[in-house]
Amino acid sequence: MVFWRCLISSSLITLFTYGCGDLANFTTENTQQVIQENNVAQLLTQAKARQKAEDFLAQGNNFLDAQRYQDAVASYDQAIAIQPDNTEAWINRGNALGYLQNYKDAVISYDRAIAIQPDQPQAWYNKGNAQSSLQNYKDAVKAYDKAIAIKADNYEAWINRGIALTKLRRYSDAITSYNRAIALQPTKHEAYYNKACTHALQGNVESAVENLNKAIELVPGKYKRLAKTDTDFNQVRNDKRFQALIQ
């Protein structure tokens, strides 16, 4: 109605044009103010949600450290319900499920983390561990390969990759994997022990004894005790060199 009057009244056109302009400006400013207030409210809501998600994540981490794994999973679920793209929550949820020996769901959790952040080496590494626990050794090797491609100095991934390869009877590849771990961390006793096991499975007494001796030097009591009953050493168990080492 105001707009119509501005158009037809020549005597008041200046007045009403100004009036129309004034009303238009007033409406725009008011709209902008409402939008700004809505934006601020939205940002505050988002900030509160983020903080709540972080609180649930921290709570889950505390439960994980306290070995309260069911409670940890519940907390991570609450964090994820608020922030579905929280990579850390998905990874740690997988870790808690792994401790509960729920490896299938752990793999699903790691896959969700990977879908969000494909270059997350910890997610790939932990997925490899879960797949190994499920005896899905081919899938485990693939996951370790991904972890190593992203972070080549992950000596633990190299060791666990070697173990999975040994289970697949890919002994040469396994030994190569252990050697990479040893090159990165020369005092990593697990690498020497598992390398000894792999050599023993091939009946290679000399290399088995050499690597077992290195593991025993690094951690004497543990590996002497393990080697006495570990079936991986059955092919070399009666050899005098092996027997002398485990006495």
Per-residue model confidence (pLDDT) at position 115? 98
Whether 57 and 138 share a structural domain:
yes
Residue 9 has pLDDT above 90, yes or no: no
Residue 191, judged by CB atoms within 10 A of its CB (0-12, 13-18, 19+), counts as: buried
Asked whether residue 22 is assigned to any structural domain, the reply reads: no
Where among 151, 169, 202 does a domain terminate? 151
Residue 21 has pLDDT above 50, yes or no: no
Q: Average the pLDDT over 91-115 and give the result.
A: 98
CA 209, CA 225: separation in Å to the nearest integer?
15
CB neighbours of 13 closer than 8 A, spacing ≥ 6? 6
Q: Average the pLDDT over 219-240 and give the result.
A: 95
Whether 141 and 198 share a structural domain:
no
CA 108, CA 115: separation in Å to the nearest integer?
10
In order, the DSSP letters of 150-177 are H-TT-HHHHHHHHHHHHHTT-HHHHHHH
Whether 167 and 111 share a structural domain:
no
Whether 172 and 190 share a structural domain:
yes
Whether 61 and 135 share a structural domain:
yes
**Domain CATH code at residue 91:** 1.25.40.10
Where among 102, 126, 151 does a domain terminate? 151
Per-residue model confidence (pLDDT) at position 22? 38
Where among 128, 151, 174 does a domain terminate? 151
Asked whether residue 32 is assigned to any structural domain, the reply reads: no
Per-residue model confidence (pLDDT) at position 51? 83
Q: Which residue has the tokens 């608020």?
A: 82
Residue 183, domain extent: 156-247
The number of angstroms, rounded, from the C-alpha of 159 to the middle of its chain's C-alpha atoms is 18
Asked whether residue 58 is assigned to any structural domain, the reply reads: yes
- Total structural domains in the chain? 2
pTM above 0.75, yes or no: yes
Whether 53 and 128 share a structural domain:
yes
Asked whether residue 7 is assigned to any structural domain, the reply reads: no
Tokens representing 45? 């809501």
Q: Average the pLDDT over 153-159 and give the result.
A: 97
Whether 132 and 165 share a structural domain:
no
